[in-house]
Amino acid sequence: MNKIGSEERHTFRAVFGKYGYKRYHDKLRGELYSPTMVVKQVEIIDDPEKPRSVTDHLWLNLTKSFTSLGLLHSGDKIQFDGRVVEYTQGYINKDKKDYKLSYPTKVELIENREVIPLPEDHQVLIGMIMNLNYNFYMKTKRPFVPYFMDAFEEWQNNQDNPLSIECHQGNEWENSEKYERLNYHAEEKAWQDAKMAQQEAKKKNMAEGIEFLKKHPEWIDELIVIGKRKEQEVGVKENHPSAKHCFISSSSLENFVNTKQLDLPPKQIRKLITKIKYALAFDWFKEKFQGEKSEDMDNPFSKLANFYNQK
């Protein structure tokens, strides 16, 4: 994230992980607690057609903009604008550098669903987070401060429709040395594994799309005609979003495949369209589209292997 810089604001998309809190010491007021949340798979989507992966996880202050989204669940996708700034993390050791977003705005939940409001009271909100993460905090020996735990229980009892969060007893136990931010190495590995699986699936779809087109050369000729016609309509080349797929949009490809009246279930036809779409973005088809010839023209799979080996 240090490569992004702090001069410009960007639009981010991320997957909600869980709620948390940070604790810090104030000389006048003592131990203070502030609600936070962690998001994963963070991307910059200034250009929605070209999302850029930023980091595996990012901690955010649970500001009013985020609490307005209601009770989030792990896996919810959210979008927001923000600027990246550097900060020092850790409660004991202050030499760890990390990055956070400052003043997030335009926060929204991507999924359109009914949400459950969060408590507005700070004391109740911290108690809710402690109860939500009760099992994890027990294992890591984090404190369950009665001041917060009791406030949340009282708030729950006064609700007509209380949150589906079990209330637990607080304790007086505190140990500053044990307090650190959550470790997301396990989530990072899972994210990397998912990213690798996604790349393998893309590689497989692309190979199967190429194989299908090789068996149907007349489709190649017709798709080239469609792409050339669209290329003339848009009047630009490299800079146009559809140039990646030789100017053949998803809707154009779907209409084209539907004219073939294939004797396949709708689900298989949709999968076929996806595979062909991947094939259209590969150099093998682009060379045909541009009328170029190379030694590997008839052996696209060796090129496909080289393409992914360079990743």
- For residue range 215-268, what is the model confidence (pLDDT) as tens digits? 999 999 999 999 999 888 877 656 677 788 888 988 899 999 999 999 999 999
Residue 253, C-beta contacts closer than 8 angstroms, at least 6 positions apart:
223, 245, 273, 276, 277, 280
Asked whether residue 81 carries a pLDDT value surpassing 80, the answer given is yes
Domain ranges of the chain: 10-183, 196-309
Q: Lowest mean pLDDT: which of 72-76, 120-124, 205-209, 245-249?
A: 245-249
**Confidence at residue 255, expressed as pLDDT on a 0 to 100 scale:** 92
pLDDT band, residue 185 (cuts 50/70/90) = low
Asked whether residue 35 carries a pLDDT value surpassing 90, the answer given is yes
Average pLDDT of the chain?
82
Considering the chain, what percentage of its residues have pLDDT values greater than 70?
78
Q: Which of 90, 104, 108, 86 is nearest to 16 (CA)?
A: 108
Q: Lowest mean pLDDT: which of 101-110, 162-171, 191-200, 264-273?
A: 191-200
Considering the chain, what percentage of its residues have pLDDT values greater than 90?
45
Average pLDDT over every residue of 106-133: 92
Q: Are 275 and 254 in contact (CB under 8 A)?
A: no
Q: Are 80 and 107 in contact (CB under 8 A)?
A: yes
